[in-house]
């Protein structure tokens, strides 16, 4: 079976649980994902299905993608993603994956792209302590020593230094599924998921 669905992070809210406790939840809108291509070992070397979601006007589809959809006999969609499956031959182009498949699921893994923070120093990026805050100190937010002297006369790979922060693929595992609304294509999971509002996320059965 297809154990994942792609959707859009709407935002966070809170609901009351059965014990009248407030539960913080993230609302994910996952419209029906349609199978746009079937990949098998015989044709592609591995088993997977290509899922499509998001409405798009046909005139906005570029020529390469238009040719792809016509070749597969699928309707144009805005986003395409792949999901690995055990036997792709069981599926056909046009099959749908909806939130109803997650009605009995208790835990899910949610993958998204974290918010971009731009260029950040070591204190913000890695939580370095920094130097003294007094006026007499000349060392405040710098990383400090980054290597040895004569040997090996270079900076080791992987050293924590200032640089680009965020925009990483992040997976939060074992989030509890609080509610599934099939009428509005919504999945409510307990806690936060990576990324900002309207970000694309993958919800996979844990």
Question: Residues 23-47: pLDDT tens digits?
Answer: 999 999 999 999 999 999 999 999 9
Nearest alpha-carbon partner for 37 in 87, 65, 66, 74? 74
Residue span(s) of the chain under CATH 2.40.30.10 come to 1-30+98-132+160-205
Averaged pLDDT for residues 8-23:
93
- Residue 153 confidence (pLDDT) above 90: no
| Angle at the Cα of 93 from the Cα atoms of 201 and 7, rounded to 5 degrees | 15
Report pTM: 0.87
Decide if pLDDT at 167 tops 90: yes
- Quote the CA–CA distance of 206 and 203 in Å, as a whole number: 9
Q: Determine phi and psi for 44, rounding to 5 degrees.
A: -125, -10
Q: Return mean pLDDT, the chain.
A: 94
**Listed range (45-49, 151-155, 156-160, 182-186) with the worst mean pLDDT:** 151-155
Instruction: Determine the average pLDDT of the residues in 69-95.
Output: 93
74: CB partners within 8 A, 6+ apart: 34, 35, 36, 37, 52, 93, 94
Q: How confident is the model at residue 19 (pLDDT cuts 50, 70, 90)?
A: confident
Q: What pLDDT does residue 39 have?
A: 95
Helix, strand or coil, per DSSP, at residue 125: helix
Residue 117, both tokens? 């923070």
Q: How much is the average pLDDT of 73-77?
A: 93
Burial class from Cβ neighbours inside 10 Å (0-12, 13-18, 19+) for residue 138 reads exposed
> Where along the chain do the CATH 3.30.160.810 domains lie?
33-92
d(CA 94, CA 92): 6
**Contact by Cβ (8 Å): 77, 32:** no
Determine how many CB atoms are found less than 10 A away from the CB of residue 186.
16
Per CATH, the architecture of 1-30+98-132+160-205 is what?
Beta Barrel (2.40)
Q: Mean pLDDT over residues 183-197, rounded?
A: 96
**Residue 197 CB-density burial (10 A; 0-12 exposed, 13-18 middle, 19+ buried):** exposed
CA–CA dist 77, 84 (Å, integer): 20
Would you state the CATH architecture of domain 33-92?
2-Layer Sandwich (3.30)
């Amino acid at each position: 079976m297809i154990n994942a669905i792609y959707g859009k992070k709407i935002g966070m809210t809170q609901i009351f649980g059965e014990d009248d406790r407030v539960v913080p939840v993230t609302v994910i809108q996952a419209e029906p994902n349609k199978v746009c291509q079937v990949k098998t070992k015989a044709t592609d070397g591995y088993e997977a299905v290509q899922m499509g979601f998001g409405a798009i006007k046909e005139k906005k589809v570029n020529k390469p993608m238009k040719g792809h959809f016509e070749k597969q006999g699928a309707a144009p969609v805005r986003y395409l993603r792949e999901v690995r499956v055990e036997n792709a031959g069981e599926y056909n182009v046009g099959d749908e994956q909806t939130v109803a498949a997650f009605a009995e699921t208790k835990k899910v893994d949610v993958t998204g792209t974290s918010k971009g923070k731009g260029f950040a120093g070591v204190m913000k990026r890695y939580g370095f302590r920094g130097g003294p805050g007094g006026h007499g100190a000349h060392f405040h937010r710098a990383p400090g020593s980054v290597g040895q002297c004569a040997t090996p006369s270079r900076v080791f790979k992987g050293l924590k230094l200032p640089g680009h922060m965020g925009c990483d693929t992040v997976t939060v595992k074992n989030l509890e599924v609080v509610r599934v609304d099939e009428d509005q294509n919504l999945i409510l999971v307990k806690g936060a998921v990576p990324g900002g509002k309207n970000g694309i996320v993958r919800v996979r059965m844990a």
